[in-house]
Amino acid sequence: MPFIPHTGQEITQMLDTIGADSIDDLFDEIPEHLRAAVMEAIPQGMNEMEVSRLMHQRAGLNTRALCFLGAGSYQHHIPAAVWEITTRGEFYSAYTPYQAEASQGTLQLTYEYQSMMTALTAMDVSNASMYDGASSLAEAILMSVRANRKSKSRKILIPTTVNPVYRQTAHTIVNGQQIELLDVPYDETTGTVKLEQIKQQCEGDITALVLQQPNFFGCLEAVDEITDWAHENNILVIAVINPLAAAILKPPGEWGAEEHGGADIACGDGQPLGAPMSAGGPYYGLLCCKQAYVRQMPGRIVGRTVDLDGKEGFVLTLQAREQHIRRSKATSNICTNQGLVVTASTIHMAIMGATGLENTAAACLANNNKLVECLTAIDGVEKSFDAAHFHETVLRLKKPAAEVLKGLIQKGILGGYDLSLDYPELGNALLVCTTEMRSQDDINAYVEAMKEVMTRSDSDLGLVQDTVLC
Amino acid sequence: MPFIPHTGQEITQMLDTIGADSIDDLFDEIPEHLRAAVMEAIPQGMNEMEVSRLMHQRAGLNTRALCFLGAGSYQHHIPAAVWEITTRGEFYSAYTPYQAEASQGTLQLTYEYQSMMTALTAMDVSNASMYDGASSLAEAILMSVRANRKSKSRKILIPTTVNPVYRQTAHTIVNGQQIELLDVPYDETTGTVKLEQIKQQCEGDITALVLQQPNFFGCLEAVDEITDWAHENNILVIAVINPLAAAILKPPGEWGAEEHGGADIACGDGQPLGAPMSAGGPYYGLLCCKQAYVRQMPGRIVGRTVDLDGKEGFVLTLQAREQHIRRSKATSNICTNQGLVVTASTIHMAIMGATGLENTAAACLANNNKLVECLTAIDGVEKSFDAAHFHETVLRLKKPAAEVLKGLIQKGILGGYDLSLDYPELGNALLVCTTEMRSQDDINAYVEAMKEVMTRSDSDLGLVQDTVLC
Amino acid sequence: MLIFEHSSPGRKGAPQSPSAEAMPTGIPENLLRKNSASLPEVSELQAVRHYTRLSQKNFSIDTEFYPLGSCTMKYNPRACNTLAMLPGFLDAHPLTPDEQNQGFLACMFDLQSMLCEATGMAAFSLAPMAGAQGEFAGVAMIGAYHRSRGDDARREILVPDAAHGTNPATAVMCGFTVREIPTLDNGDVDLEALQQAVGPQTAGLMLTNPSTLGVFERNIEAIARVIHEAGGLLYYDGANLNAILGKIRPGDMGFDVIHSNLHKTFSTPHGGGGPGSGAVGVAERLKPFLPLPVVTKEADTQRGESYRYLTASDRPQSIGRLSAFMGNPGVLLRAYIYMRFLGREGMVRVAEFATLNANYMMAEAKRRGFTLAIDNRRASHEFIITLKNEARDYHVSAMDFAKRLLDLGYHAPTTYFPLLVPECLLIEPTESEAREALDGFMDALEQIRNEAQETPELLHAAPQTLPVKRLDEVRAARQLDLAYKGR
Amino acid sequence: MLIFEHSSPGRKGAPQSPSAEAMPTGIPENLLRKNSASLPEVSELQAVRHYTRLSQKNFSIDTEFYPLGSCTMKYNPRACNTLAMLPGFLDAHPLTPDEQNQGFLACMFDLQSMLCEATGMAAFSLAPMAGAQGEFAGVAMIGAYHRSRGDDARREILVPDAAHGTNPATAVMCGFTVREIPTLDNGDVDLEALQQAVGPQTAGLMLTNPSTLGVFERNIEAIARVIHEAGGLLYYDGANLNAILGKIRPGDMGFDVIHSNLHKTFSTPHGGGGPGSGAVGVAERLKPFLPLPVVTKEADTQRGESYRYLTASDRPQSIGRLSAFMGNPGVLLRAYIYMRFLGREGMVRVAEFATLNANYMMAEAKRRGFTLAIDNRRASHEFIITLKNEARDYHVSAMDFAKRLLDLGYHAPTTYFPLLVPECLLIEPTESEAREALDGFMDALEQIRNEAQETPELLHAAPQTLPVKRLDEVRAARQLDLAYKGR
Ligand SMILES: Cc1ncc(COP(=O)(O)O)c(C=O)c1O
Ligand SMILES: Cc1ncc(COP(=O)(O)O)c(C=O)c1O
């Protein structure tokens, strides 16, 4: 019996103690006619050898192409030590650290995470994680509504340069609470939001403004100017960041004039700091804020304190914000968070250090410059925007992106993200990404493949459709 | 600087303390003209991302064929928990447990290993491991010479049914010590040693006799009869076993008449109990003996004792046998052993239990029967021997085994071990192995491939030589 | 010591860093960072040593019996971790075209199907990233359903007073108001109070069955009738299915929507707080509203079966997305692998042995003279001891018992939840624990009760054997220290 | 508690076992096992919990500073483990045809080449499975060389008295007799005594340089001359190359044969006792005798370069095999990966920083008033403190110091080795430790000396903070208990 240690004799003895004749008797409070039948649609159990064979087969079906796709998930190098330590049983199989004295490992690590994340973002406070970047933005919006006592409108400005799936998620989550999300368009030459466009959108009382840096196009927004304007108008600024980029870009806590103290809330996805792409997760949502808003923060927070002897120790704190204490008046319903990924991320940051992250970010950027330079030398490929960028760039193609991507994948290249569904106004637009993992050989392979795809006629493309991929 | 934590400032301060001007000064006792030049033939260092890419490429070059090859290394299922726990830093990065109080983890585990190994072999004592099965046999022979006080001859009988590489290794290692290894031929119909053949070989004083069960052909030797005869003639019996087979076969401690107490020494390779095939190692040599010979045992042994408070604890014991105490008079020069593999193997045995090992052994055997039945139905394939066997069988082919294996590997099948070099008298002989890992599908694939190879003409074989393999 | 205190300026983990690139030009000065982030500067060895040692300061299933009620701390098979972390899964970009992602999608489709069968629901979405998000999805669907029928007045969600905190919090997050329904002393919902509470404002009822009191709701059919007749929908908080798997299915009890915590029943690890998965299942009428993504199987003439993600155009009424991609695939894979281990027979056994263990411990507790919160009923997968007598007689609290248990090498049960029961311990052994562990725990509890009588200071001063003694939570909340800023 | 004591008759780790097959007929009854082996019968969770907890009872590099002299306890990079355990390596059968094994063989060939370059030898074999087996191979080659020249009288191996125990033990195992050569107070070999010892009976000299006394043998060229002129060969016990890597090469010093412990200098883990690798290198004239297997590279016209194992027919004079297959490939891969991390610059730095750390600690020891075994010389990668004064004055032993260090969270240095130095601690910090660790250790040592003076009972009773107190080794050897047979 899988994972059940009971022997026949033990079962008998235990039933004796209970005073029951059979295990089935223990279910005698369940109405007979409601009892479940055998679950035919569920296959029979397997032993580990069989399960292992099955999963190796399934994993083998996934094509492992050279990845130039980003759009919110990035393939970075992760030191081997990170997940080896993270998956140690003591971290892996522990519960939420409700019994603080028996959970100092998780608690101290989380405190260290909060310290690192505030250092990276230059914010005052970090919580212990939200589910992912998208849901973290949603919670940041809810939080801004609670925090901005000067605003009554519940109106939030969101530029369309914010990741489209983040915007969709925010809609789903804030939907029930009479909050209005107002789109702000972007400038078609720069690929960034212009302050004038925001001002046009902004009628009267606005609660908060969201700004993603680098934005979904990889372009860098004018964060100082926009933050200052927002603060002058009593609008809270919610920064959406890539925490790896934050190693070299101005951190949200320093956006705008010093006297305003930077962005009010910062969120984003922690994935680039130690989480594998893993088909979409688990990642984690980072969420930071100014000290003033700490009581509006959703999720767990760890604090440093002392024990009976005055010795340093760590506990979950400000729990009165949370559902298990405050129930319907909690700041959020979140309970389980993404603790284990935070564990990995903390170890990742510790091993990489600021220098490691800076070098990584710089390598991503340099690689993107190399790739884009070579690609745009190809006839029919040009850059869409002229703003400075991080490690992603939008390219305009002379053929539909979907078609080009099909051609590339046949050469084992995951060529990027097709923007045509989310941004039809951009035409045949493709978002390409390079991380530090893409070697010069990889870049050359992409460029060669792109050359061929761009010169090939459409009928050629159709022909090779079913070739086996590498 | 890889794995070196020193900052520039620290280096300066440390040199100050030492009173040296530079690190190079610390080497000033080395004659200048002997100083090494730059090691041009060694490539420049790499970071982990680059090393990782290189090693994935190299590992990818190794063809992963369906394995029907045994001959001393076997592909068995290993529970995932085994190596996850074994590679925990506390086991992985600890030294030999010389400081017992700080090494109770390794010491208790080793005591448990010794307990499990004596249970499996029905022997009195087990040491904490030798390097591998082959070197363990060599040490067993040396030990028998020390242990058999009644014999002066230093003559050892070794049937040629003992693994040829074990016999070669024994030759290399006992070579310097005037020990004579005498071959005993096997019976050509059974594939096992007959007592009469041993008697023929045996002139006068013999120190020990080696007997492998199952033997290299997979066949089962008449261990009782031969052991009894040996003991009646004051010859020590050295058993070479497959410890997985020992879960269902009579263990060496029970060979022969009860009053003789079974084999005197048992050795073998622990690989089938939790070590991956891993291109040949690390495995470990098991070595067990009767209580009477414990002081002749080479290698480390852990004993149970008590601490100052009378609490149970574990230490290395009988160290006076070892080189670090007894130097030139030690029982062996062995120091470092195969501790980590023993760790894995102990956890493996604990998780599998006797039932798990028995079921595994039975599945191996059943699979071999299935395979051999199907293969011998093919024209030009027949069994060489008629003795009972475990999970390996010798087949006689109508074509050279080397040629057949080439054909099979082109179909992604590692078809077995070509016996023609070691046993030219057997003709075109192939040793095939099945473990519990070989599913019915795998067996069918082998049979289909064999059919094709056996019916194909030689020129066909040449033609496809360079096809890409699966 | 904090990792920051192992730091030395300029020290680096060199083998992990790409060689320094000149910072590319083209980024305006004012968008660049001025000072490096003050992260720790340590060697790889220092980091490995620090975090390895930190890990040893945790209790965990892999090291201790952990009978934490409502949390289902069962064995997390190592193979589930190993196999979910195969490179074919880890290196998969979430936006990989479906054709290149068939292995993963097949697992997800199978998982949806198995969950449907196990719960008796018509369809599942794996999108929610924890139980609370599953609840959110469920309640949002209830809202969307009523709205789609023009039934806009249904703005109230009913929640029993024994409910988990996420239930009321979720209802509010979805824009509903919450009305509490009382529970009777025997653990069943107060049916009369429920009847009085329902009306045209009722959007639905959120119920856990067995409830957090550890007993099966015997009037479940009557409750379903009351809610459905009032026009409301019935929500099943199936955070924990351990008690009923294969024995009774929420769909058959009349529930319209359910979430299940795969990180409980299906044994994905808790990881010191997460990640989890709160897969959400629905009856036929709620199917159009399921959150995306959902995986579907299609018969493809060319290559047999194939799998793909449904998009917004396939499901225009969907409540939408809850995350950037696909929930928590790594968690979903672990649950899938675990379910393949169990198979249909294994799942029934989960419920059987989780229930056997709980009832055995409850019988032992009674035999040893502890007071049960609800007597003369079967335990489900968990049960409650109340220490109100001990508190009154010896001036020790449930918290003291909990801390003293830590000293004896057992993780404490859940304390002070559910809120209805004073000085309570909610004990959930799970099916994967051997009888010795259960007996050892009961012995410890008995020992502590004796100590409470004879040497209560032992309890007040507990724990003594852990890395720290009892921690000052009040100070933590008053003198907030939430990030290291140097000593 | 032993794993056996968690056992319950009939309990199994079911998910790991193939379903029971009927025992196939055909095996005679008398060859079958009568009773199941009495292995523990536990659940997977029980095994995981038991061994996880056991592991926590170890000191290790990953948890403590471990300055064990002559053992080189440096950081074992986790990536070396992860990458050596890629399925392409783990699933390779050792008898895989060379053509299917090119990735692995390429690594082995490169490793041989890098070791040649690093040591100045002409060829290497990776076959030996530990230092002692490397020594065996080396000494056996010396024997085979003399024999091949008909020089059969050379039956004596010279070994300095400071040598590691494996040196004399090995010589005897190879059939030689051993003669000890004394060491001078300054740590150098007594050259005069050596000159008197050599003769036509001399097969060779086994030398460690820097010696186990932690100093460089300054007369190495003279020693080489003496041995070579007497017709002997010079063996380098390069168990530890940490002190000289990239600074001076044994081949350039005149050594004819060398073994190197890859589990020390090249950072493969010690694993609580092994496995290791004692790769053996030779000068040109010994090449024909190298143990098999050895990997060679061939230019193949069809596919460029290819690699293959040399066989006995390629090397008829080989001393033969030392193991069934290829030594310890998993260890060899880890060493290879580590060397690719380091590269040529990194290797030099190993020697530089190992030496810097040792000399820094030695200077600190002196400054704090400890007595050095050899004063006024450079330390190599290690150095020796003698506690003979403390022993005399306070009646505490080096062992007491060692045990007390454990209490303070440091693994003890090597004690009572080399045998020449009374009450000694042989201290080897390695290059991967940060200065804080070195200072912390010296502070602890100073604290203990103070305690020795004021409260010596603290030392005698140490350790107090570990899972057990000081263990009774005499009882262990007298009342042998080497296997569990029930209580
Ligand atoms: C009954 C019940 N409902 C809901 C939840 C919330 O689940 P999660 O923590 O995954 O959000 C829990 C988990 O503690 C629970 O026990
Ligand atoms: C100087 C010296 N020589 C030889 C050896 C023996 O090496 P191994 O333990 O690998 O057999 C050692 C290891 O302790 C050593 O330090």
Q: Give the pLDDT confidence score for residue A327 in this predicted structure.
A: 86
Q: What span, in angstroms and rounded, lies between the C-alpha atoms of A122 and B301?
A: 57
Q: Look at residues B295, B319, B347 and tell me which one is the last residue of a structural domain.
A: B347
Q: Which of C6, C7, C43 best tests the B interface by mutation, with the highest count of B CBs <10 A?
A: C43
Residue B37 lies in a domain: no
Chain C residue numbers with beta carbons less than 8 Å from the beta carbon of D64 are 49
Q: Which residues of B touch A (CB under 8 A)?
A: 48-49, 52-53, 77, 79-80, 84, 87-88, 436-437, 439
pLDDT at A401 over 80: yes
Report the number of secondary-structure helices (H) and strands (E) in chain B.
14, 15
Is residue B284 a contact partner of residue B118, using CB atoms and an 8 Å limit?
no
Cα–ligand 2 centroid distance for D159 (angstroms): 15
Cα–ligand 1 centroid distance for C239 (angstroms): 5
Longest dimension (CA), chain C: 78
Residue % of chain C over a pLDDT of 70? 99
| DSSP code of residue B87 | T
Pair (B381, B359) in one structural domain: yes
Q: What span, in angstroms and rounded, lies between the C-alpha atoms of C87 and A12?
A: 45
Residue B125 lies in a domain: yes
pLDDT at A343 over 80: yes
Pair (B334, B359) in one structural domain: no
Range of the domain at A259: 80-347
Q: Give the pLDDT confidence score for residue D301 in this predicted structure.
A: 65
Residue A314 lies in a domain: yes
Q: What span, in angstroms and rounded, lies between the C-alpha atoms of B196 and B219?
A: 18
Higher pLDDT, B464 or A386: A386
Asked if residue C163 has its Cβ within 6 Å of ligand 1, the reply is: no
Q: Give the pLDDT confidence score for residue B456 in this predicted structure.
A: 81
pLDDT at B465 over 60: no
Q: Give the pLDDT confidence score for residue A465 in this predicted structure.
A: 43
Helix (H) or strand (E) holding B90: helix B89-92
Q: What span, in angstroms and rounded, lies between the C-alpha atoms of D382 and D73?
A: 12
Is residue B407 a contact partner of residue B430, using CB atoms and an 8 Å limit?
no
Is residue D353 a contact partner of residue B3, using CB atoms and an 8 Å limit?
no
Question: How do residues C291-342 score in pLDDT, each as one tens digit?
Answer: 999 999 998 766 678 999 999 999 999 999 999 999 999 999 999 999 999 9
3-state class (DSSP) for residue A381: strand
Pair (B256, B119) in one structural domain: yes
CATH code of the domain covering residue A180: 3.40.640.10
Measured between CA atoms, how close is A159 to chain D, in angstroms?
Answer: 42
Asked if residue C211 has its Cβ within 6 Å of ligand 1, the reply is: no
Is residue B341 a contact partner of residue B283, using CB atoms and an 8 Å limit?
yes
- Among C124, C339, C354, C167, smallest CA distance to C243 is for C354
DSSP state letters, B268-283: EE-TTTT---GGG-S-
In this prediction, residue A466 has a pLDDT band, given cuts at 50, 70 and 90, of very low
3-state class (DSSP) for residue B285: strand
Is residue A409 a contact partner of residue A420, using CB atoms and an 8 Å limit?
no
Q: Give the pLDDT confidence score for residue D245 in this predicted structure.
A: 96
The predicted model gives A25-52 an average pLDDT of: 95
Q: Give the pLDDT confidence score for residue A468 in this predicted structure.
A: 35
Asked if residue C132 has its Cβ within 6 Å of ligand 1, the reply is: yes
B219: left (phi over 0), alpha (psi -120 to 50) or beta: beta
Q: Which residues pair with B286 in a beta bridge?
A: B268
Looking at this predicted complex, what is its ipTM?
A: 0.97
Ligand 1 mutation target, pool C164, C170, C277, most atoms within 8 A of CB: C164
Q: What span, in angstroms and rounded, lies between the C-alpha atoms of A318 and A302?
A: 8
Q: Which A residues, 354 through 383, put their C-beta within 8 Å of a C-beta on chain D?
A: none
Question: How do residues B379-437 score in pLDDT, each as one tens digit?
Answer: 999 999 999 999 999 999 999 999 999 999 999 999 999 999 999 999 999 999 999 99
Q: Which range is least confidently modeled, A25-34, B451-460, C258-267, D407-416? A: B451-460
Whether residues A276 and C469 touch (CB distance < 8 A) is answered with no
- Among C376, C379, C398, C395, smallest CA distance to C387 is for C398
pLDDT at A166 over 60: yes
Q: What span, in angstroms and rounded, lies between the C-alpha atoms of C130 and C140?
A: 15
Q: What span, in angstroms and rounded, lies between the C-alpha atoms of D326 and D329?
A: 6
Q: Which of D92, D270, D473 sits opposite B279 (nearest CB)?
A: D92
Pair (A323, A449) in one structural domain: no
Token pair recorded at residue C397: 């609290």
Chain A residue numbers with beta carbons less than 8 Å from the beta carbon of C34 are 250, 254
Residue B55 lies in a domain: no
Whether residues B106 and D273 touch (CB distance < 8 A) is answered with yes
CA D331, D337, D341, D342 dihedral sign is positive
Q: Which of B44, B46, B47 best tests the C interface by mutation, with the highest count of C CBs <10 A?
A: B47
DSSP state letters, B347-403: HHHHHHHHHHHHHHHHHHHHHHHHHHHHHHTSTTEEES--S-BSSEEEEEESS-HHH
Q: Give the pLDDT confidence score for residue A325 in this predicted structure.
A: 86
Is residue C307 a contact partner of residue C98, using CB atoms and an 8 Å limit?
yes
- Among D151, D362, D90, smallest CA distance to B279 is for D90
Neighbours of D (≥3 Cβ pairs closer than 8 A)? A, B, C
CATH code of the domain covering residue B401: 3.90.1150.10
pLDDT at B460 over 60: no
pLDDT at B463 over 60: no
* Residue at C126: amino acid letter: L
Measured between CA atoms, how close is B157 to chain D, in angstroms?
Answer: 20
Residue A7 lies in a domain: no
Pair (A293, A228) in one structural domain: yes
Mean pLDDT of chain A: 95
| Beta strand residue intervals within C227-346, DSSP E | 233-238, 257-261, 278-282, 295-300, 304-309
Chain A residue numbers with beta carbons less than 8 Å from the beta carbon of C361 are none
Residue B207 lies in a domain: yes
pLDDT at A326 over 90: no
Closest Cα to atom 7, ligand 2: which residue?
A: D131
Q: Which residues pair with A395 in a beta bridge?
A: A383, A430
The Cβ-side half-sphere exposure at D226, using a 13 Å CA radius, reads 19
Q: What span, in angstroms and rounded, lies between the C-alpha atoms of B420 and B360?
A: 30
State whether residue C14 sits within 8 Å of chain B by CB. yes
Pair (A243, A130) in one structural domain: yes
CA D16, D18, D23, D28 dihedral sign is negative
Q: What span, in angstroms and rounded, lies between the C-alpha atoms of D187 and D217?
A: 7
Pair (A331, A377) in one structural domain: no
For chain C, the distance separating the N- and C-terminal CA atoms, rounded to the nearest angstrom, is 11
Q: Give the pLDDT confidence score for residue B12 in this predicted structure.
A: 98
Our CA dihedral for D368, D369, D375, D381, rounded to 10 degrees, sits at -30
Pair (A70, A84) in one structural domain: no
Is residue D207 a contact partner of residue D236, using CB atoms and an 8 Å limit?
yes
In this prediction, residue A464 has a pLDDT band, given cuts at 50, 70 and 90, of very low
In this prediction, residue B64 has a pLDDT band, given cuts at 50, 70 and 90, of confident
Q: Look at residues B308, B324, B347 and tell me which one is the last residue of a structural domain.
A: B347
Chain D residue numbers with beta carbons less than 8 Å from the beta carbon of A347 are none
Token pair recorded at residue C132: 């609370």
Chain C residue numbers with beta carbons less than 8 Å from the beta carbon of A314 are 471
Chain A residue nearest residue B439, CA to CA: A50
Residue % of chain A over a pLDDT of 70? 97
Token pair recorded at residue A6: 């009971």
Q: Which of B7, B51, B90, B351 best tests the C interface by mutation, with the highest count of C CBs <10 A?
A: B7
DSSP state letters, A197-235: HHHHH--S---EEEEEES-TTSBPP-HHHHHHHHHHTT-
Whether residues C273 and A349 touch (CB distance < 8 A) is answered with no
Chain A residue nearest residue C266, CA to CA: A3
Q: What span, in angstroms and rounded, lies between the C-alpha atoms of C75 and C80?
A: 11
- Residue B412 has φ and ψ, to the nearest 5°, of 80, 25
Q: What span, in angstroms and rounded, lies between the C-alpha atoms of B361 and C130?
A: 43
Pair (A288, A370) in one structural domain: no
Q: Give the pLDDT confidence score for residue A458 in this predicted structure.
A: 56
Residue A469 lies in a domain: no
Cα–ligand 2 centroid distance for D165 (angstroms): 8
- Among C230, C241, C172, C237, smallest CA distance to C206 is for C237
Question: How do residues A423-449 score in pLDDT, each as one tens digit?
Answer: 999 999 999 999 999 999 999 999 999
| Beta strand residue intervals within D84-168, DSSP E | 123-125, 156-160
Pair (A100, A145) in one structural domain: yes
In this prediction, residue C476 has a pLDDT band, given cuts at 50, 70 and 90, of very high
Q: Look at residues B318, B347, B376 and tell me which one is the last residue of a structural domain.
A: B347
3-state class (DSSP) for residue C292: strand
**Which residue numbers in chain D have pLDDT < 50?**
none
Q: Give the pLDDT confidence score for residue D209 in this predicted structure.
A: 93
Q: Give the pLDDT confidence score for residue C303 in this predicted structure.
A: 66
Question: How do residues B167-176 score in pLDDT, each as one tens digit?
Answer: 999 999 999 9
Using alpha carbons only, give the angle C149, C150, C156 rounded to the nearest 5 degrees. 95
Cα–ligand 2 centroid distance for D220 (angstroms): 21
Pair (B316, B425) in one structural domain: no
pLDDT at A163 over 90: yes
Using alpha carbons only, give the angle A62, A63, A68 rounded to the nearest 5 degrees. 120
Chain C residue numbers with beta carbons less than 8 Å from the beta carbon of B9 are 9-10
In this prediction, residue A201 has a pLDDT band, given cuts at 50, 70 and 90, of confident
Residue B119 lies in a domain: yes
Chain B residue numbers with beta carbons less than 8 Å from the beta carbon of D326 are 279-281
Token pair recorded at residue D289: 């005798």
Longest dimension (CA), chain A: 83
What are the residue ranges of helices labelled H in C239-293?
Answer: 250-253
Cα–ligand 2 centroid distance for B95 (angstroms): 12
pLDDT at B43 over 70: yes
The sheet with strand D233-238 has its strands ordered as D123-125, D278-282, D257-261, D233-238, D202-207, D156-160, D177-181
pTM: 0.97
Give CA C377 to chain center in angstroms: 25
Q: What span, in angstroms and rounded, lies between the C-alpha atoms of D364 and B14?
A: 10
pLDDT at B464 over 50: no
DSSP state letters, A434-448: --TT--HHHHHHHHH
Token pair recorded at residue D398: 């080096």
pLDDT at A463 over 70: no
Q: What span, in angstroms and rounded, lies between the C-alpha atoms of C480 and B201?
A: 87
Is residue A275 a contact partner of residue A344, using CB atoms and an 8 Å limit?
yes
Counting the structural domains of chain A, the total is 2
In this prediction, residue A467 has a pLDDT band, given cuts at 50, 70 and 90, of very low
Cα–ligand 1 centroid distance for C425 (angstroms): 17
In this prediction, residue A33 has a pLDDT band, given cuts at 50, 70 and 90, of very high
CA C429, C433, C435, C439 dihedral sign is negative
Q: Give the pLDDT confidence score for residue B458 in this predicted structure.
A: 56
What are the residue ranges of helices labelled H in C179-295?
Answer: 191-197, 220-229, 250-253
Pair (A132, A227) in one structural domain: yes
